[in-house]
Structure 1
Amino acid sequence: MSFLGGSEPEFDDENEFVSEHVPKPGAFLADHDVLAGEDHVAVHRHAADAFEEHGVYDATFGYNLARLNLDPRHPDAGFRYAEEAGDPTTLRAEFTPTTAFCPQAEPLAVGAFRAFDAVADHGYDLIRVRVDPSLNGSEAVNDRLERLESGDGEVGDGGASDDDRADADPAGVDRTGAQDDDGAGGPTTPF
Structure 2
Amino acid sequence: MNLPRPFDTDGDETFDSYDEFVAESLPEPGPFLADHDVLTGREHAAFHRLSRECFEERGVYDVTFGYNLARLDLDRRHPDSGFRYAREADDPPVLRAEFTPTTEFCPQSDTLTLGAFRAWNGTLERHEYDLVRVRVAPMHQQAVAINERLRHREARFRETGDLSTGDGTVGGPSGDTPF
The alignment's TM-score, normalised by the length of structure 1, stands at 0.76
Which structure has the larger Rg? 1
**Is the Cα–Cα contact under 8 Å of residues 36 and 86 in structure 2 kept in the other structure?**
yes
CA distance in 1, matches of 2:26, 2:139: 15
Aligned CA-pair RMSD = 1.8
Q: Which runs of 5+ in 1 are unaligned?
A: 1-7, 161-191
**Is the Cα–Cα contact under 8 Å of residues 15 and 74 in structure 2 kept in the other structure?**
yes
Runs of 4+ with deviation above 6 angstroms:
none
- In the TM superposition, what is the alpha-carbon distance from 1:45 to its structure 2 partner? 0.9
- In the TM superposition, what is the alpha-carbon distance from 1:112 to its structure 2 partner? 0.5
CA distance in 2, matches of 1:10, 1:88: 38
Q: Residue 44 of structure 1: SS of its match in structure 2?
A: helix
Q: Residue 144 of structure 1: SS of its match in structure 2?
A: helix
Cross-structure match for 1:15: 19
- In the TM superposition, what is the alpha-carbon distance from 1:96 to its structure 2 partner? 0.4
* Equivalent residue for 1:142, pick from 131, 144, 147: 147
Cross-structure match for 2:99: 95
Provide the identity percentage. Answer: 57
**Is the Cα–Cα contact under 8 Å of residues 9 and 73 in structure 1 kept in the other structure?**
no
Alpha carbons of structure 1 residues 10 and 88: separation in structure 2 relative to 1, 3 Å: farther
**Are positions 1:124 and 2:132 aligned together?**
no
**Are positions 1:42 and 2:49 aligned together?**
no
Cross-structure match for 2:9: none
Identify the structure with the greater helix proportion. Answer: 2
Number of residue-to-residue matches in the alignment:
153
Q: Residue 32 of structure 2: SS of its match in structure 1?
A: helix
Structure scoring higher RCO (CA < 8 A, sep ≥ 6) equals 2
Structure 2: which amino acid aligns with 1:134?
M
